[in-house]
């Protein structure tokens, strides 16, 4: 792609606005840990919700969707659409509990919930495991997508792309803290979606594509259009891998960034930054609706069009002979399609992709730095460190995480590869993350065992053990082995100290039958730990909201697809289902208990 002066002017204008916001927010960010990493815990739901959506719109996301559509069809997206189940459960069962907990990071939760040396060890372990290893893998995946876009669109080498992208993002992330990230996320999301819809609109007008009706009727595209997989297919392997396993096992069992069962990472950071519990719940509900129902279809349109323009990997390689063959994959088809964009629109789309990269990376480095500062540096090295020192250490941690991510990005081959690796590493830990709020018997040893077992199983599979098994079966085996392992540990090891259990319940008020034994022991000792929130009745209302919102958002996914396909009647029917579900959620909303 040859960008004109107009294109570069558009890109430069976006950069200036981002940097301006960072400079404005910098003064407040220097106020201390809470200001830099949690924006003083006064952010509104709509800003937090759009920030989460912007973060999940990374440069690798359209590449991942394109890879899925070209290899397994539109129905292959159920491999990540299934995570909506985890998302809506987090909205109505866990969002307010996180805000109520009073912790500064999701890692700090470990010493709120557990006790003794094992809790301290777990906190340090997770700070390294999630704040460094897991976080670096996510950033490397996003950087890999930037490398591919830079190679195809701008003709840059991997090292050139990484150097430019990493430098800009580090400088931006170190300036304004979370407040700067949130404000720029809002702008970046708007720009990214305008670019995505603009790209889809232009691609449909290409002579090779011939418009929506022609595209939908193309013999190579038609077999890819089903939103649901073919349940009558003789070969059930794809059905199990992309639909059955994600909806029955994956969503509750795997710890994956942005869709952690019960919440985690940058999602929890946003919840902790909310004004109150109501804003925390509203933010995550907005995030899930926008993330799953609103964003995917422009990418899917471009992916389908790419099947016509670049039907094979050889056709992509032939069109871009100077691109390293190592990074040629189906995910490269998305940036390949962008090379056809005209002046002006090309600049807008490039600015949107840069915005997508920056929003994700700035969030990840800010969250990773908050964990390293709060849960390693301040917890173990300098408990009495002044606030300004913590901010400086966080800025240094930002640089370190970015450098590691760039190194790992050069090792990865494609977005779907990294997606599978992350799912396998977190396989089996998700159920524990859900139950630790509602079952008193879980202790720190359980979490340590779950992470170690899942990691060992993932490494074993990556080294070739069980190579004859599909990735879906490897996931199921990993979940089974890990889950059995941590449950055995829970039953055989010493419970958390009684006083810590009581303090946790008193503060968080999760409700449910899993705390019955603790409540009864407290009553026998004349200690009051129950309050007016978190009752079993509230859990019932939360369940109704979770089910209704899940059905409603899935209905919106179908409505969007059927509108694209020209099936107006079906689209309107799906939209009506979504409206009914929305009314059901609204009817229960004011009956939910918030502090």
| Span 503-529, pLDDT tens digits | 999 999 998 899 999 999 999 999 988
* For helices 415-425 and 471-492, angle between their N-to-C axes, nearest 10 degrees: 20
Residue 534 has pLDDT above 50, yes or no: no
- Lowest mean pLDDT segment, chosen from 244-253, 405-414, 550-559, 575-584: 405-414
Number of H helices, E strands in the chain: 30, 0
d(C-alpha 70, C-alpha 315), whole Å = 14
Burial 330-339 (b: 16+ CB within 10 A, else e): bbbbbbbbbe
The more confident residue out of 536 and 31 is 31
What are the pLDDT digits (tens) for 543-581?
999 999 999 999 999 999 999 999 999 999 999 999 999
What are the pLDDT digits (tens) for 422-465?
656 666 788 999 999 999 999 999 988 988 898 888 888 878 78
d(C-alpha 530, C-alpha 526), whole Å = 12
Token representation of residue 250: 């994956």
In sequence order, the 6+-apart residues with CB closer than 8 A to the CB of 112 are 101, 102, 103, 504, 507
Please say whether the beta carbons of 228 and 562 come within 8 A: no
d(C-alpha 294, C-alpha 395), whole Å = 34
467 burial level (CB within 10 Å; 0-12, 13-18, 19+):
exposed
What are the pLDDT digits (tens) for 465-507?
877 887 778 888 888 999 999 999 999 999 999 999 999 999 9
Which pLDDT does position 275 carry in this prediction? 93
What are the pLDDT digits (tens) for 266-276?
899 999 999 99
d(C-alpha 499, C-alpha 252), whole Å = 30
Strand partners, 427: 254
d(C-alpha 137, C-alpha 134), whole Å = 5
- Start-end of H helices in 206-344: 212-217, 237-239, 245, 251-253, 265-272, 277-289, 296-309, 313-319, 333-338
Which pLDDT does position 573 carry in this prediction? 97
Dihedral (CA of 392, 396, 399, 404) sign? negative
Rg (CA), the chain: 24
Helix (H/G/I), strand (E/B), else coil: 157 = coil
* For helices 568-589 and 536-565, angle between their N-to-C axes, nearest 10 degrees: 160
364 burial level (CB within 10 Å; 0-12, 13-18, 19+):
buried
Q: What are the chain's domains? A: 5-425 (1.20.1730.10), 426-496 (no CATH)
d(C-alpha 104, C-alpha 93), whole Å = 19
Helix (H/G/I), strand (E/B), else coil: 594 = coil
Q: What percent of the chain has pLDDT over 70?
A: 93
Residue 420 has pLDDT above 50, yes or no: yes
What are the pLDDT digits (tens) for 49-72?
999 998 888 777 888 899 999 998
Please say whether the beta carbons of 43 and 182 come within 8 A: yes
- pLDDT averaged over every residue in the chain: 86
Q: What's the CA dihedral at 32, 36, 40, 41 to 10 degrees?
A: -140
In sequence order, the 6+-apart residues with CB closer than 8 A to the CB of 499 are 115
Token representation of residue 215: 């595209």
Residue 417: in which H helix or E strand, if any? Answer: helix 415-425
d(C-alpha 110, C-alpha 122), whole Å = 7
Please say whether the beta carbons of 298 and 471 come within 8 A: no
Q: 175-184, 313-322, 433-442 — which one is most confidently predicted on average?
A: 433-442
Which CA distances in Å does 307 have to 205, 210, 298, 317? 15, 13, 15, 14
Please say whether the beta carbons of 359 and 54 come within 8 A: yes
Which CA distances in Å does 375 have to 59, 396, 508, 553? 29, 15, 21, 36
Residue 415 has pLDDT above 70, yes or no: no
- Lowest mean pLDDT segment, chosen from 129-133, 244-248, 501-505, 535-539: 535-539
Helix (H/G/I), strand (E/B), else coil: 362 = helix
Residue tagged 């019955």 (tokens) = 516
What are the pLDDT digits (tens) for 118-130?
999 999 988 888 8
Which CA distances in Å does 180 have to 143, 280, 309? 21, 19, 40
What confidence tier does 147 reach under pLDDT thresholds 50, 70, 90? Answer: confident
Chain centroid offset of residue 489 CA: 29
Residue 595 has pLDDT above 50, yes or no: yes
Helix (H/G/I), strand (E/B), else coil: 448 = helix
Which pLDDT does position 235 carry in this prediction? 64
Q: What's the CA dihedral at 382, 383, 386, 390 to 10 degrees?
A: 60
């Amino acid at each position: 792609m040859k960008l004109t002066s107009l294109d570069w002017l558009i890109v430069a204008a976006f950069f200036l606005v981002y940097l301006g916001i960072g400079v404005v927010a910098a003064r407040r960010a220097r106020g201390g840990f809470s200001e830099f990493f949690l924006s003083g815990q006064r952010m509104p739901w709509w800003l937090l919700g759009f920030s989460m959506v912007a973060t999940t719109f990374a440069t690798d996301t359209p590449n991942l969707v394109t890879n899925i559509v070209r290899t397994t069809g539109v129905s292959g997206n159920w491999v990540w659409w299934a995570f909506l189940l985890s998302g809506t459960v987090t909205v109505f069962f866990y969002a307010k509990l996180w805000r109520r907990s009073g912790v500064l990071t999701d890692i700090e939760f470990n010493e709120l919930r557990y006790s003794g040396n094992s809790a301290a060890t777990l906190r340090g372990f997770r700070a390294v495991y999630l704040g460094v290893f897991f976080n670096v893998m996510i950033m490397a995946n996003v950087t890999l997508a930037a490398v591919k876009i830079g190679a195809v669109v701008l003709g840059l080498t991997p090292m050139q792309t990484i150097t430019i992208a990493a430098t800009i993002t580090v400088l931006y992330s170190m300036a304004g803290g979370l407040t700067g990230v949130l404000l720029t996320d809002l702008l970046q999301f708007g720009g990214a979606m305008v670019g995505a819809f603009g790209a889809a609109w232009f691609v449909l007008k290409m002579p090779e594509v011939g418009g929506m009706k022609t595209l939908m009727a193309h013999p190579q595209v038609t077999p890819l259009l089903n939103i649901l997989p073919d349940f009558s297919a003789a070969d059930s392997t794809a059905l199990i891998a992309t639909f059955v396993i994600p909806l029955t096992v994956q969503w509750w069992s795997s710890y994956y960034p942005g869709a952690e069962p019960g919440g985690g990472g940058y999602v929890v950071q946003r919840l902790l930054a909310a004004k109150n519990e109501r804003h925390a719940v509203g933010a995550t509900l907005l995030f899930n609706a926008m993330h799953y129902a609103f964003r995917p279809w422009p990418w899917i349109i471009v992916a389908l069009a790419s099947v016509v323009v670049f039907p094979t990997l050889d056709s992509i390689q032939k069109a871009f002979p100077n691109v390293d063959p190592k990074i040629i994959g189906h995910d490269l088809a998305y940036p390949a399609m962008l090379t056809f964009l005209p002046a002006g629109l090309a600049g807008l789309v490039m600015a949107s992709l840069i915005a997508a990269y920056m929003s994700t990376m700035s969030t990840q480095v800010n969250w990773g730095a908050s964990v390293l500062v709060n849960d390693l540096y301040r917890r173990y090295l300098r408990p009495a460190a002044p606030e300004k020192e913590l901010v400086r250490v966080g800025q240094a941690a930002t640089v370190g995480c970015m450098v590691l991510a760039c190194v790992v990005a050069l090792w990865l081959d494609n977005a779907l590869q990294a997606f599978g690796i992350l799912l396998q590493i977190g396989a089996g830990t998700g159920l524990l993350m859900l139950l630790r709020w509602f079952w008193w018997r879980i202790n720190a040893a359980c979490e340590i065992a779950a992470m170690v077992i899942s990691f060992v199983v993932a490494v074993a599979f990556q080294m070739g053990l069980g190579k004859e098994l599909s990735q879906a079966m490897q996931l199921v085996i990993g979940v089974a082995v890990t889950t059995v392992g941590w449950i055995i540990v829970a039953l055989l090891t010493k419970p958390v100290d009684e006083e810590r259990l009581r303090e946790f319940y008193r503060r968080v008020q999760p409700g449910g039958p899993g705390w019955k034994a603790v409540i009864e022991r407290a009553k026998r000792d004349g200690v009051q730990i129950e309050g007016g929130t978190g009752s079993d009745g509230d859990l019932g209302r939360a369940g109704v909201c979770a089910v209704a919102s899940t059905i409603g958002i899935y209905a919106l996914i179908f409505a969007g697809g059927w509108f694209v396909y020209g099936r107006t009647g079906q689209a309107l029917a799906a939209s009506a289902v979504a409206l009914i579900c929305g009314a059901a959620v609204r009817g229960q909303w004011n009956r939910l208990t918030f502090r």
